[in-house]
Structure 1
């Protein structure tokens, strides 16, 4: 039961953070889905940082923290379904360049953010 609560709280906080980013970017109307891109990049950075941090911690601490950070928070915060839908909508509206850029930027930036996060976690959180 404790694990369910941990995931629930993490997911709720991640969803609230995602909502906040969406609201922030809605102030600047754009065809390009900057809010979703930003949320996904930040989620990758957080997940990578957690992975780097976890390499130095006990398995028990990592397991509980993983439920909160990875499954809960990042699960509620990252938005692959939104990314997919927004990209398809761009294609359906003949915005081929924007759709292709969204795919390319998302993949490159999210991989880079995950790698950066892993480095940050190993370098600065190895306490």
Structure 2
């Protein structure tokens, strides 16, 4: 619970920093949060899969499910996609949904591969 709260606070600060630094109609803050969270989840997963014993399994679970679960956000991503639909920004919706799924998956794989080859 504490890890999830800390992740949510980090999400808020990263999202605010990105949104203010790069104003755009695209939900760039949420995109950056979700992609960076996917990469971090890939790193932790890779550490577990490839036997890096730098943290106990319970710590990896707290980091993945607690902190990164609180850091990344499915619900905000979906609400922003609906807002784009309501604004008739179909290209933005497509880019947001498909782009986030593809890049998020690739970011997670990159994290796992990075650990594998270190």
Q: 1:26 aligns with which of 2, 19, 22?
A: 19
Q: CA RMSD in A?
A: 1.6
Structure 2 partner of 1:86 = 80
Could you tell me how far apart the structure 1 residues matched to 2:3 and 2:13 are?
15
Q: Which runs of 5+ in 1 are unaligned?
A: 1-7
The answer to whether structure 1 residue 14 and structure 2 residue 7 are counterparts is yes
Shift of the alpha carbon at 1:48?
Answer: 0.6
The answer to whether structure 1 residue 46 and structure 2 residue 40 are counterparts is yes
Displaced runs of 4 or more, over 3 A: none
What TM-score comes out, normalization by structure 1 length? 0.83
Could you tell me how far apart the structure 1 residues matched to 2:10 and 2:36 are?
10
Largest Rg, 1 or 2: 1
Alignment of 1:59-98 (within 5 A): 61-62=56-57, 64-98=58-92
The answer to whether the 8 Å contact 1:40/1:110 transfers is yes
Could you tell me how far apart the structure 2 residues matched to 1:36 and 1:50 are?
21
What TM-score comes out, normalization by structure 2 length? 0.89
The answer to whether the 8 Å contact 1:9/1:68 transfers is no
Tell me the secondary structure at the aligned position of residue 29 of structure 1.
Answer: coil
Tell me the secondary structure at the aligned position of residue 53 of structure 1.
Answer: helix
Tell me the secondary structure at the aligned position of residue 26 of structure 2.
Answer: coil
Shift of the alpha carbon at 1:76?
Answer: 0.5
